[in-house]
Amino acid sequence: MQTMKTLKPAFTKANKYLFDPSAYSWSLPSGTSCPFALKCLAAANRSTGKIISGPRQEFKCYSAQYERYPSVRARVWANLDAVRGLNPNEVCDLLDSVKPTKAKLIRVHSGGDFFSQDYFDGWLKFVSKNEDCWFWAFTKSIPYWVNRIDSIPDNLNMIASYGGKRDDLIEAHNLRSALVTYSTGEAEEAGLPVDTDDRIAAYGKTNFALIEKKAARREAATKAKKEPTHEEAT
């Protein structure tokens, strides 16, 4: 059995695929903290890192895959342990106590999701308190958002992720959304721009598509093979 280090809660630098390398993110255990996940549901065992997929999984949860590594599991579980059971004011205070002073861009949950109404409300308080910072969040926890639909701070861009248990609420409340597709062509047929680096997610106002990561890699490899070499182009 692998032993995880005991860590304090913390924001971390966002991954290399984001549009701005100065951005930070806050993450929780994938699946475990995702009460409304369905088509992407997967979770890594806290002790062993073994990935268990949900019974109706259609596409992989890539943040769960990274939790195979003990250092990643230690980080996300430290964050969850720190906020679980807190009321909104306590969530806000905890996040505020560990927010990097230089952070101006924060993605809420590179892994995990809003796991309770109190936790969601705590984030709203924290975001409102940090007006000089820009936040964005993908979520399948649509009911918590709908319950506070008129209380979302101006510096938080929310995105409803299709593939959850309450997709019905997305159209019913005209929520901005992201749809996972398996090719650029599929996204174009749906009339959706493709976001490859979170730029549209963070700053956009319209719906958009995300290409499933394996499909995106295949598409990129095919494109590379078709591009002419320097000799062929000259």
Q: What local confidence, expressed as pLDDT, does residue 234 receive? A: 44
Among 143, 66, 146, which residue's Cα sits nearest to residue 111? 66
Cα 27 to Cα 71: distance, rounded to the nearest angstrom: 13
Q: What is the mean pLDDT of the chain?
A: 91
Residues 6+ apart with CB under 8 A from 126: 91, 92, 95, 96, 99
Phi, psi angle pair for 27, to nearest 5°: -130, 150
pLDDT in tens, 177-226: 999 999 999 999 999 999 999 999 999 999 999 998 665 455 455 554 55
Q: Taking the model in full, what pTM does it have?
A: 0.89
Q: Which domain holds residue 114?
A: 12-164
- Answer whether residue 5 is part of any domain: no
Q: What local confidence, expressed as pLDDT, does residue 59 receive? A: 81
Please give the distance of CA 207 from its chain centroid, rounded to a whole number. Answer: 16
Count the domains in the chain.
Answer: 1
Q: How many helices (H) and strands (E) does the chain have?
A: 10, 9
Judged by average pLDDT, the poorest of 60-69, 146-155, 166-175, 181-190 is 60-69
- Answer whether residue 1 is part of any domain: no
Q: What local confidence, expressed as pLDDT, does residue 230 receive? A: 44
pLDDT in tens, 103-147: 999 999 999 999 999 999 999 999 999 999 999 999 999 999 999
Q: What local confidence, expressed as pLDDT, does residue 15 receive? A: 80
- Answer whether residue 73 is part of any domain: yes
Please give the distance of CA 55 from its chain centroid, rounded to a whole number. Answer: 21
- Answer whether residue 7 is part of any domain: no
Q: If you search the block for the tokens 């499933």, which residue do you land on?
A: 212
Among 32, 50, 33, 31, which residue's Cα sits nearest to residue 42? 31
- Answer whether residue 123 is part of any domain: yes
Residues 6+ apart with CB under 8 A from 208: 178, 179, 192, 193, 194, 195, 200, 201
- Answer whether residue 190 is part of any domain: no
Segment 37-42 mean pLDDT:
95
Segment 23-35 mean pLDDT:
97
Cα 109 to Cα 91: distance, rounded to the nearest angstrom: 15
- Answer whether residue 41 is part of any domain: yes
Contact indicator for 122, 152 with CB cutoff of 8 Å? no
Q: What local confidence, expressed as pLDDT, does residue 1 receive? A: 47
Segment 25-38 mean pLDDT:
97
